[in-house]
């Protein structure tokens, strides 16, 4: 028996590969889609041209359902005072690495979904278009729907799930606090700066999958996908017991052959570091789950002085580049959820089929 999600999307397996900007492109998406899951292309850090090329590659390599993912934040003005404080905190590191910080200009590292990107989408047939941080303006949601794509977004609270359903989401991801990468938070009272400090984004009240998932399932009528802490077939079965119509796995795919995960990131995933992750705003300005590395332990995990999302990574980029050049992830976002036990350095299609085979009979779905 297929879940509501599988029926809606024509999906062989109830498995979505989480879009992970910066660590994967079309290659991972193709592998997962070809194996019967829903592969995802993260577009938040792509230009329109690269996105066009990546989508062409996907459609040339598979005719199975796939997902393209966008962020939908508002790009803020540069806060000069906070930027200066942030640079001040980074100065000892610039000195250590011999970096001339005066050459670094402030700017955004990620672009929100807009009409230019929607124009690119028109030439393709993605099954799902997904968003993080809520939904874009109504006109953009309508454009996506008119292309025949289903709209997916993530909720970190029951209220966010209700808002998403009321505003046109066809599928809702219940993103438990275990999940790696960016929290999808968008209705917090703490998304604005107060007294010139970085927003807190309600980090302290974020909810675990076990509690969040059934409460969202009981509130909305669209299919709900569980994300956060799921790493194997028993995890998928447990999520379905709690009412999920499918699962979204990110961390589990990070060691796959087709992922672009960096060498230091792969090494950290294979080490004890993977047992200690935290929500940190240091890498982008918004809370995201990363392993604890040097910059997180020395300046974080949450800093009052980090620039607003997505302006925070410009000033750290040269530090990250220098460190990575010598094999160190001390300044890199080491995205990782709270359960890295399912990571395998194999082909993503094989991993997807293993997850599905482990589900045993169809009886529980």
User: Which residue among 157, 248, 303, 314 contacts its own copies (CB under 8 A)?
Assistant: 157
**275 scored as a contact of its own copies (CB under 8 A):** yes
Give the contacts of 184 (CB within 8 A, at least 6 positions apart).
Answer: 132, 133, 134, 153, 154, 155, 156, 160, 173, 175
State which residue, 69 or 209, has the beta carbon closest to its own copies.
209
The residue (of 65 and 199) whose beta carbon lies closer to its own copies is 199
d(CA 190, CA 200): 5
- The phi, psi pair for 149, rounded to 5°, reads -80, 150
Handedness of CA 289, 295, 301, 305 (dihedral sign): negative
Could you give the 3-state DSSP secondary structure of residue 41? Answer: strand
What the block records as the tokens of 120 is 């690119």
> Which of 109, 360, 177, 354 shows the shortest CA–CA distance to 253?
354
Cβ 143 to its own copies, closest distance in Å? Answer: 33
Query: Using CB under 8 A, which of 102, 103, 204, 221 touches its own copies?
Result: 204
Determine if 218 is a binding residue for its own copies (CB under 8 A): yes
Find the shortest distance in angstroms from Cβ 157 to its own copies: 7
| One of 229, 246, 264, 285 touching its own copies (CB under 8 A) | 229
Window 164-193: contact mask with its own copies (x via CB under 8 A): ------------xxx---------------
What distance in Å separates the CA atoms of residue 163 and residue 245, rounded to the nearest whole number? 19
Q: Of 149 and 174, which has the nearer Cβ to its own copies?
A: 174
169 φ/ψ angles, rounded to the nearest 5 degrees: -70, 135
Among 277, 284, 303, 313, binds its own copies (CB under 8 A): 277
Residues that bind its own copies (CB under 8 A): 157-159, 176-178, 204-205, 207-212, 214-215, 218, 228-232, 234-235, 237-239, 241-243, 275-279, 292, 301-302, 337-339, 341
């Amino acid at each position: 028996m297929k879940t509501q999600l599988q029926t809606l999307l024509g999906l062989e397996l109830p498995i979505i590969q989480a879009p992970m900007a910066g660590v994967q492109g079309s290659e991972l998406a193709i592998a997962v889609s070809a194996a019967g899951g829903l592969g995802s292309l993260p577009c938040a850090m792509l230009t329109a041209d690269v996105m066009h090329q990546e989508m062409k590659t996907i459609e040339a390599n598979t005719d199975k359902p796939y997902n393209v993912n966008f962020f939908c934040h508002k790009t803020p003005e540069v806060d000069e005072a906070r930027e200066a404080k942030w640079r001040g905190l980074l100065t000892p590191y610039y000195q250590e690495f011999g970096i001339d910080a005066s050459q670094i200009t402030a700017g955004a590292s990620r672009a929100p979904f807009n009409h230019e990107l929607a124009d690119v989408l028109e030439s393709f047939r993605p099954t799902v278009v997904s968003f993080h941080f809520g939904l874009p303006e109504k006109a953009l949601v309508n454009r996506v729907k008119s292309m025949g794509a289903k709209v997916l977004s993530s909720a970190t609270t029951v209220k966010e799930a209700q808002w998403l359903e009321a505003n046109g989401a066809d599928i809702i991801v219940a993103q438990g606090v275990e999940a790696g990468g960016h929290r999808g938070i968008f209705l917090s009272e703490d998304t604005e700066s107060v007294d010139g400090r970085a927003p807190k984004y309600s980090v302290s009240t974020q909810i675990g999958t076990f509690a969040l998932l059934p409460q969202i399932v009981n509130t909305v009528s669209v299919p709900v996908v569980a994300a956060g802490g799921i790493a194997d077939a028993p995890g998928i079965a447990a999520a379905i017991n709690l009412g999920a119509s499918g699962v979204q796995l990110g961390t589990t795919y990070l060691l796959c052959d087709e992922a672009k995960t960096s060498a230091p990131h792969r090494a950290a995933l294979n080490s004890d570091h993977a047992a200690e992750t935290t929500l940190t705003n240091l890498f982008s300005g918004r809370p995201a789950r990363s392993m604890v590395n040097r910059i997180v332990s020395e300046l974080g995990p949450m800093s009052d002085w980090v620039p607003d999302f997505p302006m925070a990574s410009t000033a750290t980029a040269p530090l990250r580049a220098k460190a990575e050049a010598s094999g160190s992830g001390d300044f890199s976002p080491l995205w990782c959820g709270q359960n890295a036990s399912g990571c395998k350095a194999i082909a993503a299609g094989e991993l997807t089929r293993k997850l599905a085979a482990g589900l045993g009979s169809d009886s529980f779905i």
